[in-house]
Amino acid sequence: MASVEQVAPLRVPVSDTGESRTGKALGATAIQRLSGRRDRPFERVNCADFTPELLRNELFGHERGAFSGAITKKAGLLSMGDGGTVFLDEVGELVAEARAMKLRFLQAGEGRRVGAVRTLRFDVRVLSATHRNLAAAVRDGTFREDLYYRLRRGQLKVSPLRQHREDIPLRVEYVRQLFNRAEGRSVAGVTPEALACLERHHWPGTCRSSRSCSRWP
């Protein structure tokens, strides 16, 4: 499985897999920041939040008068992210109609706004993430095989924190620095006993758990 540094310079779509809450969105952000598109837009959409029609509107936009309430033309995320990167989170939640739409875009790099007759072309790099086992979904016929292979031309797997506990001291130091800057304090570190407790923890919340203590009111 490739690393962030290996897939970042590539132009191909990258599929980011791993358990829930392991930081797949952070992985996508890191890929974008290390890529040649680092100074271009980075747009994110959670596929689980939209019906197929609403997802089409979110990605491609719509023309004025395309439907009731469409009083102005709207640019979709692909237009706003042109030249940059679009991150499709929870791509495993796409239903069949949305999968077909997404496949057409990945094949041709083009699509139409809702209510439009003209096809638009988009120069965007697609990153995607899911906690689902898409290979198993392909085998049981619940996810399109052609879309699966289009999405996973580059592969990245974010492992849970419990599988690389050697990173825990580094995270503790990072959070210590954040805390000191945010609170104007000068905490020197944690006790060996506290660090040992953190290293024994199972971290069911993985990345989100380890980041939560870096947020203060």
- Which residue would you say has higher pLDDT here, 53 or 210? 53
pLDDT at 178 over 70: yes
Burial-class residue 93 by CB neighbours within 10 Å (0-12, 13-18, 19+).
middle
- Average pLDDT score, the chain: 87
Please report which helix (H) or strand (E) contains residue 93, including its range: none
CA distance 104 to 79: 16
At 147 the pLDDT is 94
51-60, pLDDT tens digit by residue? Answer: 998 999 999 9
Cα distances (Å, whole numbers) of residue 141 to 46, 88, 134, 144, 202: 23, 21, 10, 7, 34
CATH of domain 4-159: 3.40.50.300
pLDDT at 216 over 60: no
pTM above 0.85, yes or no: no
- Domain residues of the chain, as ranges? 4-159, 162-212
* pLDDT band, residue 35 (cuts 50/70/90): very high
126-166, pLDDT tens digit by residue? Answer: 999 998 889 999 999 999 999 999 998 888 877 788 888 88
